[in-house]
Structure 1
């Protein structure tokens, strides 16, 4: 029983505008917040073990929702300020703003929680679980180094301190683990076998419920989803000693469950819901444009914890913990205008009569009031006496007047900010290199620019859209050439960073996500030419950073162009492919292959066809080979190379090894690109293995192992070593038996089910002729079960085929033929022709059906597949 099933079982049981002033008189929101703080304080006192009661309802979520521009972010920040000001010594707050692309990374979400609570120091259960997860999910990437590079996790000093403390803790666990029989693989520096007898871990196994179930969970996604459960146990111990109040502020939550995302178990929203459930004494303050629907039973397909009995406070009714944040009243709006601008004596600058009229025109929108105050100051600066007519119209009109109020440097910076929405000083200087630093600082000091942590800034998305849409109506707009020039500089800057494998962008996911999001936005909303965009998307995908691709889809609907919509559809298809919805992937990407393809740049269209071809190859429903061929014809770029390799694999799976080899031989075997060289020799090894040329296959797999070692990649090393074993178990069984323990342990430490099964299969093959048939069959059965449990159904045919070989080698031809009949039945509809041909060779001594093509001819391959049988026959 995994940790998820175990939990389910238990359950069934000055002249500057102050944003803070806006909310001085929002009494209902402030009262609801104060009441929730008191409620949770009482819960901690009366039920200190509520964290472990999975049947208890959760009332720790307070939600504020409403339209954009009404001040929800300012409300959230003011509530955080009040929470900490009341008792800074015994309170801790965590803030996550989901409008920033990197915040939507599920791994970073977990790290955000832990980093925000770092001052509380002692988190042995969580930190151990996190280290185990990280070692398997991100092999070869040191957790402490990763944390130190993530700018979204606090200041440089905070990150260094957090990384150092985590590194010292994990090292202490290793130092106290004692001697581990058999050792741990070099690549897995923090594996369960390695630490299970450590003093800290023994204490956790004894005292922390579910720790061992989490720590030994084979599914890394399940382990990540249950890390907050371990965090909750750590907090429970901390709060037993000190009455520490925790508040977690999740802002702009509408970005988590965006319209382009397919809600599913294990996604970011499910992660957030689980963390709120597992941390019942910590308050989650969520601001969003939409009301939370966690209390609806219909969310059960995508939320592990949902329904009115779980979240009674999120249902409708007078006692609901969900509060609609409306527009400010006329009185509150006038009060805002009275206090936002004051002279040296503290008297209001805006006359009372004008305050009343502007308050009426604003219709209670705080963003309008903010921009209006900036407009008022600009009018005064020009020596003009502001009048009601200067503020007539809605937000777009007042924004247009603000743009005309600003001098050229400030209006240019506002336009550049509207291209970016989230930015730092460096990015603004890239966009407008001729501007003085003082102009940038003046702009960043304006009230409509929100200062985030670590010198990241943003403007409201409504302001962004208004500036972009209203610019052409201003007296001095940017020309199309000026917009293109600024966008071009940004594209060149970000593209160069993506092209440099050693740039900070590849180490800091915030920088990466922001750069990717902005490049997609420039193409999608402005039509900017980005020659390298298709290759950038492929680079990010090959590195497995799907959260970056996911975040790129979140673009302002009002600004999208038709090619931009096509690009977002491409990204939608990639995400559906990643989560395994192959039919939805085809539905999204098939239009890119029609005679009237989607309006999109050609390389982006080719990229869409590549993922469409991959999906056809897995699921059927289209011509994968023709799709890959179209991509490669007439091109000599990375996308064409990937298409050729994919086409060769497809041909080999269909049994046409001659065609697959011809495609592979079009490449230079000494490619300088290490990743592509690895994939080429992996392909050649597979082709020769299918042909029975086991020594040739082993040669190519040995080259992949060499490449993996050069790149210091534990994941590639695990792949290379298990593939090498698959080849050598036929031709050099004693060598495989000498190394298979270490190879299998490496794959186990990294949590790779297909690798574990392949090692079991290689071990069984190597033992044929040396061990009893029953021993071999037991290993083959284990391999079949491992493949099947992981969903690798084509691979699960391999152990069945080797069972035929085992029976034949033991001299029982009747049993071999019976097993062959089972093999053919199970192989129906599977792409495993080489196994069927091999089974015929083992039982008939020939390949009478011609199911596969042999690169060196039929006679050579029949002899090659026969040789191991002759060598081991008893």
Structure 2
């Protein structure tokens, strides 16, 4: 950062952000470790007991694992270096000896380097570690003949890192001298390490008193006799643990060994170095190990038997508990923690402190907020954004939000340690919002699940076990792979992306039509992902046509529209997929916007003529419904007739619309005759129910609505069931307020997970009718009038006014009724619902001087008597309550 600008007033600093939860996990794990080691039952030579001396932090590349590792080391070494947000540990830090070892390939660290680093850190105690030092000296002379250890340490730079490194050769020499003296060997020991170890092994085997100080180390002789190679050196760390355990109580220390960049140790098929490192962890149970890397450790999995020395949940209980779709166990004994994303507040703090001038953030607040949102909490993205900020600033212009999109470095950092197949799967699933292992394999076009299974274990894969598909990519990683310029050797061409999109669309169609779960949730999940793929890659609609009809058939209307593309939302439609996305979006959004907007949107789709015939009819049919809702009856009838004449799959629904149009006009006999031919597809029972209550026969209507609800439930159509139940509640409310309570409650239960605005308002009107005759209904009526106006549901307003008229007739409030009749006449000037004014007169027992042209099924007089009886029955009911 400092070399990114000539402006010396710009200050760049490392911005470490909180990570308090991870520090608390370290503190808890170390406290537990200290308690175990201090127990009288603890035995450093016990090689059978489970190991609890490990904590693993894993996370996506660039999440801040190495920074966290460095901060932990500094905090354990020096109390004053602990970040202010981190609580102070309860143990004295002088009894803790941290050593951090970066295992990154770029550092050139090998196993010898690891072992030497641990021993050099312990050299700070100023004491030889006799058992281990003997084994180390023997290993060194055999594997580095003629090369003094001091020279090696000096050349490798280790002397500068470990302040007491210069003392290690002397400490080793002291250990050798002490053993030589105990064995009364003549001469100098420097050139006689082989002779010395032979003599020592003999003395140990013979249990001589002269070597009683080392005789307690039961495995020393075996290690000194073994071939001094790397395998033996790894086992020799057991001797170092034993040496530490022999220290006097007042000199006891606990090494905390931090292995960073553990993903560079090897891969899932080459675990040679990992096996050596695991031995250190197992054979040094009195040391605490904090491992950070991209991937969770698999040591607790039984399937690794033979590849590593100690495996399974019995050996590593704190590492156990991970299953596909889970991030591992939680709780005090869990020792694998996911190092997650920054919070929005932490992102802003990071950006504010990364670059400053005169103590003030160089990046302004609005730009910081926008960058933080695009980063989805990934620290690497924040640092790349800071570098781009400086780069743009050098060019002489002010950085803008548009400058901060995808970063190619995110791709290279993400895929660097993946196999070829894993990278292929990764790019494939970046096309999906969520996926399962089988779905990922199909989209990648692979024959086996292995690569997808391995990929799900990576930290940039998030999991939601309760989700329809359990896995999804970290959003910023997904965005980078999909949109940033890819410079990797195996990057995909546009044709590769197109083929992958086609595979993905086909796989989603198979999930919906042949998968183990064929319910509404699966339909919606497949449609949401499939519509976006078809739109973004201009694919054929294929199974999306059938899925679209399944979607509209249930009348639930969950939001479906995928995120908008880069072009404006009102840009011209160019492909059938774009037209279908817009169609289904318009149908879902009509539950939350004025129906006039629905008419406009559907007209645009119809005029572009991109949809195949049956989907074109879908747009025509729902535009006809929207026309009816806003009171354009003639336009509505023409649309219904056009669809009915087409004899497609929506023809029964269109014939129902025509029957309903006859009902709105007051031609009840025609509507009744048409209902007999509609069947389930035309919702005949609902049409009959709509007819019967208008004739003053709500009991008969309630029976029809119940039959309609039962049919809908048999066809698993929750939307239609809710429609019928809300209307049944409305009918029952006229003649039995007590029963209406239960019917309204059931309607709300059926509507709980549905987005059906008109049906919800019907349930509210039912509640008004139930409460007719009780005071204080005016406010509720006014609220519903406003809601209907906002929704553009003009066709429902007369029903609300009729409910008000029933209430006013029960109260004999003729002034209020006169106002309601005036509103009804105004609302029904086009001829639809004109008979509602007739019914209001029937209810109040008023003479009707200018009746509508309505054709009552059994005549006007019987209808008048029935409506008047409902009013008088309500008055009697209210009288009994008083």
TM-score where L is the length of structure 1: 0.46
Computing the radius of gyration from Cα coordinates, the structure with the larger value is 2
Greater RCO, CA 8 A, separation 6+? 1
The structure with more helix, counted as a fraction of residues: 1
